[in-house]
Amino acid sequence: MNQSFDIAVVGATGTVGEILVQILEERDFPVANLHLLASSESAGSSVPFRGKNVRVREVDEFDFSKAKLVFFAAGPAVTLSFAAKARAAGCSVIDLSGALPADQAPQIVPESNGHLLAGLAQPFQISSPSPSATALAVVLAPLRQLLDLQRVTVTACLAVSAQGREAVSELARQTTSLLNMHPLETRFFDRQMAFNLLAQVGKPDEQGHVPLEKRLVTELREVLGMPGLKVSVTCIQAPVFFGDSYSVSLQLAAPVDLQAVNAALEAGEGIEWVEADDYPTAVGDAVGQDVVYVGRVRHGVDDSSELNLWLASDNVRKGAALNAVQLAELLIKDPL
Amino acid sequence: MNQSFDIAVVGATGTVGEILVQILEERDFPVANLHLLASSESAGSSVPFRGKNVRVREVDEFDFSKAKLVFFAAGPAVTLSFAAKARAAGCSVIDLSGALPADQAPQIVPESNGHLLAGLAQPFQISSPSPSATALAVVLAPLRQLLDLQRVTVTACLAVSAQGREAVSELARQTTSLLNMHPLETRFFDRQMAFNLLAQVGKPDEQGHVPLEKRLVTELREVLGMPGLKVSVTCIQAPVFFGDSYSVSLQLAAPVDLQAVNAALEAGEGIEWVEADDYPTAVGDAVGQDVVYVGRVRHGVDDSSELNLWLASDNVRKGAALNAVQLAELLIKDPL
Ligand SMILES: NC(=O)c1ccc[n+]([C@@H]2O[C@H](COP(=O)([O-])OP(=O)(O)OC[C@H]3O[C@@H](n4cnc5c(N)ncnc54)[C@H](OP(=O)(O)O)[C@@H]3O)[C@@H](O)[C@H]2O)c1
Ligand SMILES: NC(=O)c1ccc[n+]([C@@H]2O[C@H](COP(=O)([O-])OP(=O)(O)OC[C@H]3O[C@@H](n4cnc5c(N)ncnc54)[C@H](OP(=O)(O)O)[C@@H]3O)[C@@H](O)[C@H]2O)c1
- Which ipTM value was assigned to this complex? 0.95
Shared domain check, B33 and B149: no
Residues, chain A: 336
**Domain of residue A298, CATH code:** 3.30.360.10
> In the β-sheet with B92-95, what is the strand arrangement from edge to edge?
B46-49, B52-58, B31-38, B5-10, B69-72, B92-95, B125-127
pLDDT at A307: 98
Nearest CA in chain A to B282: A196
Environment class of A244 (CB within 10 Å of its CB; exposed 0-12, middle 13-18, buried 19+): buried
Ligand index nearest the alpha carbon of residue A82? 1
Is there a contact between A14 and A36 (Cβ–Cβ < 8 Å)? Answer: no
Best CA proximity match to B159, nearest among B317, B297, B13: B317
Shared domain check, A187 and A69: no
Measured CA distances, B154 to A300, B22, B118, B320 (Å): 12, 31, 31, 20
Q: In sequence order, which residues have a C-beta less than 8 Å from that of residue B324 and are 6 or more positions away?
A: B20, B71, B73, B94, B96, B128
Shared domain check, A268 and A194: yes
Is residue A60 domain-resident?
yes
Of all protein residues, the one whose alpha carbon is nearest to atom 17 of ligand 2 is B164
pLDDT at A2: 73
Going from the Cα of A74 to the center of ligand 1, the distance in angstroms, rounded, reads 3
pLDDT-above-70 percentage for chain A: 99
pLDDT digits (tens, 9 = 90+) for A31-69: 999 999 999 999 999 999 999 999 999 999 999 999 999
Q: What is the pLDDT along chain B (336 residues), one digit of tens a residue?
A: 579 999 999 999 999 999 999 999 999 999 999 999 999 999 999 999 999 999 999 999 999 999 999 999 999 999 999 999 999 999 999 999 999 999 999 999 999 999 999 989 899 999 999 999 999 999 999 999 999 999 999 999 999 999 989 999 999 999 999 999 999 999 999 999 999 999 999 999 999 999 999 999 999 999 999 999 999 999 999 999 999 999 999 999 999 999 999 999 999 999 999 999 899 999 999 999 999 999 999 999 999 999 999 999 999 999 999 999 999 999 998 766
Is there a contact between B335 and B3 (Cβ–Cβ < 8 Å)? Answer: yes
Going from the Cα of A275 to the center of ligand 2, the distance in angstroms, rounded, reads 32
Q: For chain A, what is the mean pLDDT?
A: 96
Is B183's Cβ below 8 Å from some Cβ in A?
no
Is residue A335 over pLDDT 70?
no
pLDDT at B199: 98
Which of B172, B213, B238 minimises the CB distance to A197?
B238
pLDDT digits (tens, 9 = 90+) for A305-334: 999 999 999 999 999 999 999 999 999 987
Is residue B336 domain-resident?
no
Is residue A193 over pLDDT 90?
yes
Q: Which chain A residues in 220-249 lie under 8 Å from chain B, judged by CB atoms? A: 230-234, 236, 238-241, 243, 245, 247, 249
Going from the Cα of A172 to the center of ligand 1, the distance in angstroms, rounded, reads 19
Residues, chain B: 336
- The separation between the first and the last C-alpha atoms of chain A, rounded to the nearest angstrom, is 13
Strands (E), B120-214: 125-127, 149-158
Going from the Cα of A14 to the center of ligand 1, the distance in angstroms, rounded, reads 5
**Number of domains present in the structure of chain A:** 2
Query: From the CB of residue B121, how many other CB atoms can be counted at a distance below 10 Å?
Result: 6
Which of A151, A213, A312 minimises the CB distance to B301?
A213
Nearest CA in chain A to B214: A301
Q: How far is A212 from chain B (nearest CA, A)?
A: 11
Is residue B269 domain-resident?
yes
Q: How far is A309 from chain B (nearest CA, A)?
A: 9
Provide Rg for chain A, Cα atoms: 20
Query: From the CB of residue B180, how many other CB atoms can be counted at a distance below 10 Å?
Result: 9
Shared domain check, B235 and B281: yes
Which chain B residues are Cβ-neighbours of A179 within 8 angstroms? Answer: 172, 175-176, 179
Q: Which chain B residues in 130-169 lie under 8 Å from chain A, judged by CB atoms? A: 151, 153, 155, 157
Q: Rounded CA gap, B233 and A324, in Å? A: 34
Q: Rounded CA gap, B243 and B241, in Å? A: 7
Strand partners of residue A5 = A31
Strand partners of residue A236 = A157
Strand partners of residue B251 = B151, B306
Q: Rounded CA gap, A14 and A21, in Å? A: 10
**Domain of residue A83, CATH code:** 3.40.50.720
Q: Do B249 and A232 touch (CB under 8 A)?
A: yes
CA torsion angle A64 A70 A74 A76 (round to 10): 90
Testing ligand 2's pocket by substitution, the residue of B10, B13, B85, B219 carrying the most ligand atoms inside 8 A of its CB is B13
Q: Rounded CA gap, B310 and B249, in Å? A: 9
Shared domain check, B162 and B249: yes
Is residue B291 domain-resident?
yes
HSE-CB at B302 with a 13 A cutoff on CA atoms is 12
Q: Rounded CA gap, B119 and A283, in Å? A: 50
Is B192's Cβ below 8 Å from some Cβ in A?
yes
Residue B310 one-letter amino acid: W
pLDDT at B333: 87
Interface test with A, best of B195, B221, B222, B258 (most A CBs within 10 A): B195
Which chain A residues are Cβ-neighbours of B276 within 8 angstroms? Answer: 204, 208
Domain range enclosing A75: 5-129+320-331
Strands (E), A39-97: 46-49, 52-58, 69-72, 92-95
Shared domain check, A101 and A10: yes
Q: Do B217 and A301 touch (CB under 8 A)?
A: yes
pLDDT digits (tens, 9 = 90+) for B12-36: 999 999 999 999 999 999 999 999 9
Q: Do B208 and A296 touch (CB under 8 A)?
A: yes
Is A282's Cβ below 8 Å from some Cβ in B?
yes
pLDDT digits (tens, 9 = 90+) for A93-111: 999 999 999 999 999 999 9
Ligand index nearest the alpha carbon of residue B42? 2
Shared domain check, A69 and A50: yes
Q: In sequence order, which residues have a C-beta less than 8 Å from that of residue B281 and are 6 or more positions away?
A: A191, A192, A196, A197, A198, A199, B243, B245, B312
Provide Rg for chain B, Cα atoms: 20
Shared domain check, B269 and B159: yes
Is residue B29 domain-resident?
yes
Q: In sequence order, which residues have a C-beta less than 8 Å from that of residue A172 and are 6 or more positions away?
A: A241, B179
Is there a contact between B228 and B149 (Cβ–Cβ < 8 Å)? Answer: no
Shared domain check, A198 and A109: no
Is residue A11 over pLDDT 70?
yes
Atom of ligand 1 nearest to the CA of A40: 40
Shared domain check, A252 and A106: no
Query: From the CB of residue A3, how many other CB atoms can be counted at a distance below 10 Å?
Result: 10
Q: Which residues form ligand 2's pocket by a CB distance below 6 Å? A: B 11-17, 38-39, 41-42, 59, 73-76, 78, 96-97, 131, 161-162, 164-165, 315-316, 319-320
Shared domain check, A79 and A95: yes
Going from the Cα of A131 to the center of ligand 1, the distance in angstroms, rounded, reads 14
Going from the Cα of A81 to the center of ligand 1, the distance in angstroms, rounded, reads 14
Q: Rounded CA gap, B272 and B320, in Å? A: 18
> In the β-sheet with B292-300, what is the strand arrangement from edge to edge?
B230-237, B149-158, B244-252, B303-313, B292-300, B271-273
A250-264 average pLDDT score? 97
Shared domain check, A114 and A166: no
Going from the Cα of A11 to the center of ligand 1, the distance in angstroms, rounded, reads 5
Of all protein residues, the one whose alpha carbon is nearest to atom 4 of ligand 1 is A162
